[in-house]
Structures are given as structure tokens and as C-alpha cells.
Amino acid sequence: MEKVKVGIIGSGNIGSDLMVKLTKSDVLELTAMMGIDASSRGMQHARHLGLQVFDNGVEGLLDQPDLVDIIFDATSAGAHIHNAKVAKQLGKRILDLTPAAIGPFIVPPVNLGEHLDADNVNLITCGGQATIPIIHAVNQVAEVEYGEIVATIASKSAGPGTRANIDEFTETTAKGIELVGGAKKGKAIIILNPAEPPIMMRDTVHAIVAEDKMDEEKIVNSINEMVEKVQAYVPGYTLRTEPIFDGNKVTVFLEIEGAGHYLPKYAGNLDIMTSAAVKVAEEFAKNREKPAVKQA
């Protein structure tokens, strides 16, 4: 099969990590990096890889629209609004890794097959990618009345985009817990920890299930199955302990060790996000025969 051409907007932590992952894909061919800071580490690396490099962001694509079929947006929620417009104008599919949440949400082990014809899909947040599978796993066997997650990441793994978008992180993640996880109500908290050496990404998931639906064995089995599914594309995704039960509450502690592609292994938050995005793009590529977007 001919590879599908893809490009990245944004040369920060997420864009750079994507760059490493995409060069390993059998289905996707990375052709372009669209950044704004020509001297950044990410842009230098893109040149080194021989990619077409634009330092005027998505605008670069206007002159060479055939360079890519799918665009990954690794900028910020604010910038995505503009990038999404340009992508639409060019008739390109865009995978949104910012918390802008314009398009429908995708968490691969939960709803990869959905939205295959959408022209803009959103990957929620790193915390959402890590925890929504667990909320969904619990909800499949015991209705989740309330799902709450706490994502703790190393300060060093949170770039300026993440820091400027911290409200969008909590709000978009909470929405994802409800829309994709299935919880009636969702809440998300994010904490940055500056300890040295940097801590691994950790997530805690609390779920309150309907009073008469608590079945510890079923819940544990469902969670374990889900963990295996996530591990298939994020090998460093693990349960730190067995789920802890307290009345109708279940608490799950997760740790996500990154692949160490762009940032060291502590930055599991990058991996879970970029791995999910690559998985979605590959799925899109496989379903390419059904053209998603009509040329504008």
C-alpha cells in the first residue's frame, strides 16, 4: 500500500515526539513540519530528517497543498482555531492534539472506529488518553455516576503550550470523561511536580458506580482487559497497584512510562498522546478509499 502523506504543525514537545514516531510508521509518511521558530530544536531536527520545513506555520502548506493528506496539529487550543480553518479550506483532514475540542473526541481503545469520516477529530488531552479508557472499562460493567481523574506530570514535560492551556486541559478532559468514558459527570485535575529526577506521569482515576452495580471481580477484569489494549500501543502503560475499592468507589492508580523518543522516559504524557494520534491517523489511512472531505 502506498503510504499516506502527513505533516505536523508545531515543533514543541508534542510535535517533536510525533516526528520520531511517524518516521517509524509503515502506513504514514511524514513529509512536512510547520513551525514558527526556525531555530527551535524541533525544527532543526525536522531539517535533519530531510522534511519540508515551513517557518510560517500552516500557511506554508497553501503553496504546496499536495505535500500532505493528513495534518497533525500540535500547537495550542487558540492556534488550532486558525489551523483548522486552513485545513478545511485545503480539504485536508486534521488531527487535533490541542485541547481546542472542535471535532469529535477519539480515544483509540474506546472509539477508534467512530468518526472515520470527520474532517477534524480531537485527541482530548494526555490525561484524557490515559484515564478515559479506565472510566470506560468500569462503565461497561458498572454504570459510572461520577468519574474524576488526577493527572500528575513532571514539570519538565509540560511545555509552554500546556502551561498556557491549563484550563482547557481540565475542561476538555472532564468533557471527554463524560462523552467518551460514559460517566454521567466528569472532573479533571492536573498537577505539575518539579521534583528531580523528574517523576513518571501518574494518573489516578476515581469512579463512583451506581449503588447496586458494584461488582469488584467484573470491574477488575474489565480494567485489566483495557490495560492490555492500551499497552498494545503504549507499552509503558501500567497499573501501579490493584484497584482499590471503598463502598461504591473504585480507585485506580496508573503510571505511564514513555518510550523515550523525544523527551526521556518520564514524559509518558507525550507518548500516550502522540501514540494515540498515530494510531488514529493509521486508521484513517487504512480507510482512505472512502474520501472524507470534499475539496473546498
Partner 1 sequence: MANETGIKITEVALRDGSHAISHQYTVDQVTSVAKVLNEARVPYIEVTHGDGLGGSSLQYGLSKTDELKLIEAAVSVTDFSKIAVLLLPGIGTIHDLKKAADLGAKMARIATHVTEADVSKQHIETAKELGLETVGFLMMSHMAPVDKLVEQAKLMESYGADTVYVVDSAGALLPHEVKERIKALRQELKVNIGFHGHNNLSLAMGNTLAAIEEGATRIDGSIRCLGAGAGNTQTEVLVAVLEKMGIPTGVDTYKMMDIAEDIIAPILPKPQEINRDSLTLGYAGVYSSFLLHSKRASEKFSVDSRDILVELGKREIVGGQEDMITDVAAELSKTAVTPAK
Mind telling me the catalytic residues? 126
CA distance 43 to 95: 20
Question: Nearest distance from residue 55's CB to partner 1, in Å?
Answer: 25
Name which position in 143, 251, 264, 283 contacts partner 1 (CB under 8 A).
251
Which among 15-23, 200-208, 218-226, 269-277 is the span making contact with partner 1, rule CB under 8 A?
200-208
**Cis omega (within 30 of 0) on the bond before 197?**
yes
The verdict on 125 binding partner 1 (CB under 8 A) reads no
Name which position in 24, 41, 185, 240 contacts partner 1 (CB under 8 A).
240
The verdict on 171 binding partner 1 (CB under 8 A) reads yes
- Binding residues with partner 1: total (CB under 8 A): 32
The verdict on 164 binding partner 1 (CB under 8 A) reads yes
The verdict on 160 binding partner 1 (CB under 8 A) reads yes
Nearer CB in complex with partner 1: 9/154? 154
Would you say the C-alpha torsion 186, 108, 97, 59 has a positive or negative sign? negative
Cβ-proximal residues to 260 (8 Å cutoff; 6+ apart), any chain? none
CA distance 132 to 109: 9
Which among 61-69, 91-99, 147-155, 223-231 is the span making contact with partner 1, rule CB under 8 A?
147-155
Name which position in 150, 214, 239, 293 contacts partner 1 (CB under 8 A).
150
CA distance 270 to 160: 14
Per-residue b or e along 72-101, where b marks 16 or more CB atoms closer than 10 Å to that residue's CB: bbbbbbebbeebbebbeebebbbbbbbbbb
Name which position in 76, 122, 129, 170 contacts partner 1 (CB under 8 A).
170
Cβ-proximal residues to 204 (8 Å cutoff; 6+ apart), any chain? 149, 150, 152, 251, 252, 253, 254
What are phi and psi for residue 190, nearest 5 degrees? -125, 140
Question: Nearest distance from residue 268's CB to partner 1, in Å?
Answer: 16
What are phi and psi for residue 280, nearest 5 degrees? -65, -45
Nearer CB in complex with partner 1: 20/189? 189
Question: Nearest distance from residue 71's CB to partner 1, in Å?
Answer: 26
Name which position in 191, 286, 287, 291 contacts partner 1 (CB under 8 A).
191
Which among 69-77, 104-112, 163-171, 220-228 is the span making contact with partner 1, rule CB under 8 A?
163-171
Question: Nearest distance from residue 163's CB to partner 1, in Å?
Answer: 5
Q: How many beta carbons lie within 10 A of that of residue 262, not counting itself? A: 23
Which among 34-42, 48-56, 129-137, 150-158 is the span making contact with partner 1, rule CB under 8 A?
150-158
Q: 226 is written with which cell numbers? A: 483495557
The verdict on 131 binding partner 1 (CB under 8 A) reads no
Q: Which residues pair with 152 in a beta bridge?
A: 191, 202
Strands 201-209, 249-256: pairing is antiparallel
The verdict on 78 binding partner 1 (CB under 8 A) reads no
CA distance 206 to 57: 39
- Contacts to partner 1 by CB under 8 A: 146, 148, 150, 152, 155, 160, 163-164, 166-167, 169-171, 187, 189-196, 202, 204, 206, 208, 240-241, 244, 249, 251, 253
